[in-house]
Amino acid sequence: MERKVEGLRVQKQLELWRQKHAKGLSDVGNHLDTLGELNMRFLSDNFKELPSKNEGEYPNCLCCGDSLQACACSWEELLGAKPGSIARYLSLQGNPGMSVGLGCAMEALLESSSAKYHSALSIYWAHIVRVFALLKAREVTKFVALGGRLKPRQEMERRFPSLYLSIEETLQLLVVSNRNEKFEWDPKKARIYALSYGWHSKEHPDPTGITAKTVMEGLAGWAVSLEIRSVNKAEREEYLRLFLDERGGKREKREGEDDEESWMEHKFVRMSVNSLPEKVYRFPVYFQDYTSLHQWPRTPEEDTLFKKGLALLPCLYGNSDLDVIFLRCTEIPAEVEGVMNTTPYHKRGWTTFESRVASTKDEKFTAHFGPLVEGLIQCPLAPPAFQRLLQEKRPEEMSESNKEGFVVRFTNGLEDRPLVANLYRTFVLDTQVRLQKKINFWGRYKIATKKKGEMLGEYLSWFGKQSECEVECVDLEGLHLNDASLPPVAAGLRGLTKMWKLHLSFNRFGPSSLFVLEPLCQLKSEYPGALPMLSQPNPPCESLFKPHTGSIALREKKKNIGEIRLLLVPPLVLSDLDNHACSFIVAKSVLCTSPNGAARRTKRSEGPLGVCLSFFPVTPEHKTKRLPKSCEVHHTHFE
């Protein structure tokens, strides 16, 4: 009850504070949005120690206007944190520079448009302001090994408080930097593991404890080092022995106990406000909806926090921070008592949404536990296509529990479909469109079929239809694009009217597909002064280079070349071009597999030579082909 009253007090004071400092929050949030994805990942590198009163004058907090020390004290009081817990502030260099109190900066981050998706700090702050409730994975492992079944968040926080991070512990994790005093790379951060899984029944997501056991065992084996793995294994074995010694290895309710977990409550009492080790490198922090979001029945205040938590789920599952790991558990036991919902993971509404959002992350930062099914193979999906997926019906999917035959099902019926569709649309807009100058898909997907090409094409086309779209550069390198998948992708790119730079290297399409790029008249040279490519009609030319073409052969080719408007060259001929070809080849733009080499060549060129972008991969065999008249490109290609 005390925690509930304290939480209500914090929420009321937070709301008053947000209203009072709305302009400051907006200014700081807008500044964070301009930093870009990479800088946001390393935002914690910009925390500095609060100056003492004897260190002279320091700027006031840009958000609230108070001194940095007063700002820290105000936030400690508002959050109910131990005095001195906030000892840092955010200092960003630049023109202009920015000094913001930690609390103000993190509140602005949570209210930002795109910045919040690229930093684990937004997740930690969501815990501090009680929207999320983050758990210590090792404590959860102990709880599960002792035979515990997870309870709703409200009950878990009341009965087993040490399972959760305290405010002071979270503040410690929040300010950890991955750089040392010399600003050298020195990883020290904890990791957040966000679980995506299917509920086994409407009343309880894991009535048998199978999901918890699978995930905790999986996490122990997924640890980053053998040393940590051995520690995790030893701890788990110790807890299993304790369960065997004290309860005979049986999960049961004994006389005088309220339930099967009553006997272990004293083992999860919070003994201090901060029990974290000094070094928290890879310390596992855990999120699971049932224990991290307020569950039904909820008070009005808890319901407000629950809705805020739902809105922040894309920020959790789709966070690009390298210290946020997406956990996917597809284990759905069949014919087990208590398991009422056996719908596969990839046919569930919320898990489909979570996996779609997480597909924007690098695959290295996804851990998969359970069977891998074809439906989980991801590729970009436009919001309208995602909405169609949620509404798709098939006769073979009809059953007593799914009378309308939806392919993707929700436990709560139709009511969650518009909510999930809107969450996905907002996520794509915030992360891929708003304030974005570059779309970077480098090596993230395998677009090797016409169907996947159409999906990516629709995705890109949808971007161009949004009024907020300012995309200038698209990186499609390493996507396995081929003659079948490139045309629909190129068609989608036409809608990006402000795009002038396109990366297509390390793909697999041939010269016969180049004509589909001709309508992309918005492309231009990467270097100032060069003419836009594909803008003026010119006679087609034959390919110029064969393997190991020498300078003498190049000079002989000069007679038949004339003026070309787009020259594609592989790296194998760069040195020869540098030394000889530039003196006589006149090209209005160059499409090259090695941007650095092409840039050097541009400086030596006597003609209007520019460099556009990377294009084809290096493979052993170099072939040439005469291009059709419709393709006004001079081309050399590796197949």
Instruction: Kindly report the average pLDDT of the chain as a whole number.
Output: 81
Q: Give the pLDDT score at 358.
A: 95
Contacts of 69 (CB under 8 A, 6+ apart): 50, 51, 53
Q: Give the pLDDT score at 220.
A: 79
pLDDT, tens digit (0-9, with 9 covering 90-100), for 369-392: 988 776 676 789 999 999 999 999
pLDDT, tens digit (0-9, with 9 covering 90-100), for 459-505: 999 999 999 999 998 999 899 999 999 999 999 999 999 988 888 88
Share of the chain above pLDDT 90, in %: 60
Does 528 score more than 70 pLDDT? no
What's the rounded mean pLDDT across residues 184-205? 90
* Eight-class DSSP state of 247: H
Closest C-alpha among 279, 291, 359, 295 to residue 127: 291
pLDDT, tens digit (0-9, with 9 covering 90-100), for 126-136: 999 999 999 99
CA distances from 323 to 174, 282, 283, 327, 369 (A): 12, 8, 10, 13, 19
Q: Which helix (H) or strand (E) holds 219?
A: helix 210-222
Does 604 score more than 70 pLDDT? no
Structure tokens, 344: 């596969």
pLDDT, tens digit (0-9, with 9 covering 90-100), for 215-274: 998 887 776 555 566 667 788 889 999 999 999 999 999 999 999 999 999 999 999 999
CA distances from 227 to 190, 309, 592 (A): 16, 35, 46
Question: How does residue 338 score in pLDDT terms, banded at 50, 70 and 90?
Answer: confident
Q: Give the pLDDT score at 589.
A: 36
Neighbours of 96 (CB within 10 A): 8
3 state DSSP class of 439:
strand
Structure tokens, 364: 């290295």
Q: Give the pLDDT score at 286.
A: 98
Does 11 score more than 80 pLDDT? yes
Write out 539-595 in H/E/C secondary structure: CCCCCCCCCCCCHHHHHHHHHHHCCECCEEECHHHHHHHHHCHHHCCCECCEEECCH
Q: How far apart are CA 468 and CA 464, in angstroms?
A: 9
pLDDT, tens digit (0-9, with 9 covering 90-100), for 108-124: 999 999 999 999 999 99
Neighbours of 388 (CB within 10 A): 12
Does 366 score more than 80 pLDDT? yes
**Strand ranges (E), 77-129:** 88-92, 98-101
Give yes or no for a contact between 203 and 295, defined as CB atoms under 8 angstroms apart: no
Does 61 score more than 90 pLDDT? yes
Q: Give the pLDDT score at 304.
A: 95
Give the neighbor-by-neighbor strand order of the sheet with 88-92: 47-49, 88-92, 98-101
Does 194 score more than 90 pLDDT? yes
Torsion (CA) 415, 195, 43, 133 in degrees, nearest 10: 80
Q: Give the pLDDT score at 179.
A: 78
Does 423 score more than 80 pLDDT? yes
Does 568 score more than 60 pLDDT? no
Q: How far apart are CA 428 and CA 162, in angstroms?
A: 36
Give yes or no for a contact between 81 and 168, defined as CB atoms under 8 angstroms apart: yes
Contacts of 523 (CB under 8 A, 6+ apart): 499, 500, 501, 502, 532, 533, 534, 612, 613
CA distances from 577 to 542, 548, 553, 569, 606 (A): 17, 11, 12, 9, 13
Q: Give the pLDDT score at 411.
A: 77
Q: Give the pLDDT score at 524.
A: 53
Question: How does residue 401 score in pLDDT terms, banded at 50, 70 and 90?
Answer: confident
Does 574 score more than 70 pLDDT? no
Closest C-alpha among 176, 174, 189, 171 to residue 82: 171
Calculate Rg over the CA atoms of the chain. Answer: 29
What's the rounded mean pLDDT across residues 428-445? 93
Neighbours of 511 (CB within 10 A): 22
Q: Give the pLDDT score at 553.
A: 46
Greatest Cα pair distance, the chain, in angstroms, is 100
pLDDT, tens digit (0-9, with 9 covering 90-100), for 130-182: 999 999 999 999 999 999 999 999 999 999 999 999 999 999 999 998 877 66
Does 633 score more than 80 pLDDT? no
Question: How does residue 537 score in pLDDT terms, banded at 50, 70 and 90?
Answer: very low
pLDDT, tens digit (0-9, with 9 covering 90-100), for 342-364: 899 999 999 999 999 999 998 88
Which backbone phi and psi does 58 adopt, to 5 degrees?
-130, 155
Q: How far apart are CA 494 and CA 502, in angstroms?
A: 12
pLDDT, tens digit (0-9, with 9 covering 90-100), for 207-217: 999 999 999 98
CA distances from 290 to 96, 133, 157, 213 (A): 43, 10, 12, 15
Q: How far apart are CA 241 and CA 397, in angstroms?
A: 46
pLDDT, tens digit (0-9, with 9 covering 90-100), for 269-303: 999 999 999 899 989 999 999 999 999 999 999 99
Q: Give the pLDDT score at 3.
A: 59
Q: Give the pLDDT score at 26.
A: 96
Q: Give the pLDDT score at 440.
A: 92
Question: How does residue 534 score in pLDDT terms, banded at 50, 70 and 90?
Answer: very low
Does 305 score more than 90 pLDDT? yes
